[in-house]
Amino acid sequence: MFNTKCKSAHWHIKDGQLFLETADKKHSELAKSVITVLEGQIRQKIYDDICSWEPISNRAQILKISGGLDNALLGVQAICADIALGKKDDTD
């Protein structure tokens, strides 16, 4: 059953970090565990997305940015960063 007396939001974001406001240390540790699990799941998703990107099949995407080997490598780095940010292609 929900506690209808409590009207405040216990979860909040401060300086890019997720916090749970509670006086109970047990709940504080639970919040840390939840955040740790979420971080792991997000990192795994990013890893999977980057690994599923096929640079050989996406030569045109790389060469579009390229003007030599250095630029091609920077282009691949930028593409991986875009994938990490959730951008699936250059239309996002």
Which H or E run includes 70? helix 69-84
**48, pLDDT greater than 90:** yes
In this prediction, residue 44 carries a pLDDT of 94
Q: For the chain, state the CA radius of gyration.
A: 20
**4, pLDDT greater than 60:** no
| Max intra-chain CA distance, the chain | 64
Across residues 47-51, what is the average pLDDT? Answer: 91
Query: Which residues, at least 6 apart from 53, have a Cβ–Cβ distance to it below 8 Å?
Result: 79, 80, 83
Q: What is the pLDDT of residues 17-33, one digit of tens each?
A: 777 776 666 667 777 88
